[in-house]
Chain A
Amino acid sequence: MVIIERLYMNIYYLVAVILFIIGFHTMLTHNNLLKKIMGMNIMDTSLFLFFVAIGYIHGGQAPILREGVMQYVNPVPSALILTGIVISVSFTAFALALVVLLHKQYGTLDADKIIALRSKRHA
């Protein structure tokens, strides 16, 4: 019971780590290039969740100075994650552009087939 209680208390971290592993796994093992990009996004999102969860305090308010509010949420991670999201979006956009180019050149989105086509050209 203690374990379950501790897991429940750290539920955001737990979910973030699970999502990270899902994303990591998808990126490395799926052959479809689009799924690789999806995996990348899941991984990035899990990190955003992790970062924001660090700054979150249960019952805390938005960090705007007001009377009667004692606890504030730490705004630093949220601010950082704004930058993180921008980076993730630009990576995704660039990756998608490359996928379009690859599909034009090879006619497939399967990583294995692309490698096979490439080595056939070399031979």
Chain B
Amino acid sequence: MLNLGHAPVLIVVVLLLAAFIIPLLGKRQGVVNAVFLGAGAAAFIMSLSMTMRVLAEGTLHYPVGGWAAPYGIVVLVDVFAAYSSLVLAMVALIISWFAVYGPREVRHNGVYFTLILLLTAAMQGMVMAGDLFNLFVFIEISSLAAIAIIAIKGTKESVEASFRYLVLSALGSGGVLFSIALIFMITGHLNMEYIRTTLIVTAEQYPLNLLTSIGLMVVGFGVKAALFPMHVWLPDAHSNAPTASSALLSGLVVKVYIIALMRIAYLALGLEIFALLPIRHLFLALSTGALMVGSVFAMVQDNAKRLLAFSTVTQVGYIFLGFGLFSPRAIEGGVLHILNHAVMKSLLFLAAGVIIHQTGIKKLSQFNGLGRKMPLTFAAFTVGAMSMVGIPGTAGFISKLYIALGALDADMLVFAVLILVSSLLNAAYYFPIIISAFFGKDSEKEAVEPRLAMLAPILVLALMVFFFGLFPSLMVPLVQQTALLFVR
């Protein structure tokens, strides 16, 4: 059996290696597909075994190259990192399957697969990084790859949207790098755990440095995670990308930055920061805005993918709300929502992509009657939509329930009401689509179900929505231990 003690770096290395091998294989599409999916599957298996190990043995410290901290670089895998890595590997593998067998939207599949692998490798590296500069390098790799998988579609809209994403993303990176510099200035360390021990002494001496640094960091990550009101780039970027990219970007990429920010918060800065500074209240205020504005804008969209993109703005708000409420159950809900939203938003984007591919219809107002012609695809879409609204039995219900209960724990009833209102708003824009698709008058368009290989990832995701909705206990040990990292 392979020694999986090196799993933390092996996951990143395998994905990166595959990313560099694929361009060398040239036009042999069968081999390219095999390498692409093989790397994704290998990452998933290693991530799974790593998660088991973290659950059994506790936090893993992996010194890269055998050089111990503070001189070497440390990969730090705690339960949160293991959980995030597992979610990333799982959802990315399913989306990769769709990228291979789904509708072909890019000219060079090989290049596209390379970019997806670079993106997943960078995201895996980001959630496991124990060192701020290492984290920054992975942020930049993932930003570049994320922009490239939008621009690769080559249409006028996608290139324009990706350039706007690039400008704002570069601004965010600038903010993050500046904040890292300010922290390095007062601590002399880049290793997150060493920073925390040093900050206990130096934070009082240089409060201004720390304050500026945290401000820049929240803005930097906020831009990349599309936290309201810094979400302006998201709707165009996510709706004009190829379908598999949209699913990756909305399902995983925006959340990785939230994970990175929260990891810095509890690993490097220490949780006292939450008590001393009004970061929580900032999160609460901004996520309230996101919940309302995202839904209201989603309601007026007629383009299917644009509606889903605006819905992502709302869902990012939910995750921030969970962290902002800061009671154990709210954090559990926020962390669970990272998984649940990744599954259901990928499902919705892939289903929408298949519908658009099979019928050529992008406008929601013309979806009438299509549900009877493509029952499986629309059934999957319905499952995703129900989960978004939070119907009991689906995954979305569990995380929303936890966040709402967390709001009650924190004595902030108003946010439980807010979640209810936002769920109603979600229903107000998802249900008309489903009703008109199944019960509307017949459309003249011919539409048939896609072939099974294309449909398979969508059905798997739909089953996962039910699975995580009916058996949430599977993820509970990971999620509860993650919440303990925040609320000791």
Residues of A within 8 A of B (CB): 20, 23-24, 27-28, 33, 36, 40, 43-44, 47, 50-51, 54, 76-77, 80, 83-84, 87, 90-91, 94-95, 98-99, 101-102, 105-106, 114-115, 118, 121
Contacts and interface: CB of A to CB of B under 8 A. Distances in A.
Contacts of B162: 98
Closest 4 CB pairs of A and B: A87-B140, A105-B156, A43-B174, A98-B163
Given A40-B170, A94-B166, A54 B159 contact: no
A115 B156 CA distance: 11
A77 B386 CA distance: 50
B159 A98 contact: yes
A36 B156 contact: no
A84 B148 CA distance: 20
A114 B161 CA distance: 11
Interface stretch (B176-184, B280-288, B443-451, B456-464): B176-184
8 contacts: A36-B167, A50-B178, A94-B148, A95-B163, A95-B170, A98-B151, A101-B154, A118-B160
Interface in B311-352: none
B174 A44 contact: yes
A54 B184 contact: yes
Contacts of A28: 171
B366 to A, nearest CB: 16
A118 B167 CA distance: 18
A77 B184 contact: yes
B453 interface: no
A101 B162 CA distance: 11
Contacts of B184: 51, 54, 77
Given A47-B181, A91-B144, A98-B162, A118 B171 contact: no
B181 A99 contact: no
A106 B160 CA distance: 10
Contacts of B266: none
Interface string B54-71: 000000000000000000
B interface majority secondary structure: helix
B156 A118 contact: yes
A50 B183 CA distance: 12
Given A24-B171, A27-B170, A54 B137 contact: no
A23 B148 CA distance: 23
Contacts of B151: 98, 101
Given A102-B159, A118-B156, A54 B181 contact: yes
Contacts of B154: 101
Nearest to B177: A47
A99 B164 CA distance: 11
Interface in B107-142: 133, 137, 140
Contacts of A51: 181, 184
A91 B156 contact: no
Contacts of A121: 156
Contact of A94 (B147, B156, B178): B147
A17 to B, nearest CB: 9
Contact of A40 (B140, B157, B167): B167
A38 to B, nearest CB: 12
A33 B140 contact: no
A47 B181 CA distance: 8
Given A83-B133, A94-B166, A105-B159, A27 B171 contact: yes
A47 B174 contact: yes
Contacts of A47: 174, 177-178, 181
B185 interface: yes
A47 B148 CA distance: 25
Nearest to B166: A95
Given A54-B185, A95-B170, A102-B159, 6 more contacts: A24-B174, A27-B171, A50-B181, A80-B190, A102-B163, A106-B156
Given A91-B140, A101-B159, A105-B159, A27 B167 contact: yes
Contacts of B157: 118
A20 B174 contact: yes
B179 to A, nearest CB: 10
A121 B240 CA distance: 14
Nearest to A84: B177
Contacts of A87: 137, 140
B451 to A, nearest CB: 32
B194 to A, nearest CB: 13
A44 B159 CA distance: 23
A90 B122 CA distance: 16
A40 B174 CA distance: 9
Given A20-B174, A77-B184, A102 B160 contact: yes
Contacts of B171: 24, 27-28, 43
A65 B160 CA distance: 52
B88 to A, nearest CB: 22
B74 to A, nearest CB: 15
Contacts of A94: 144, 147-148, 166
A99 B147 CA distance: 13
A44 B140 CA distance: 13
Contacts of A98: 151, 159, 162-163, 166
Contacts of B160: 102, 106, 114-115, 118
Nearest to A43: B174
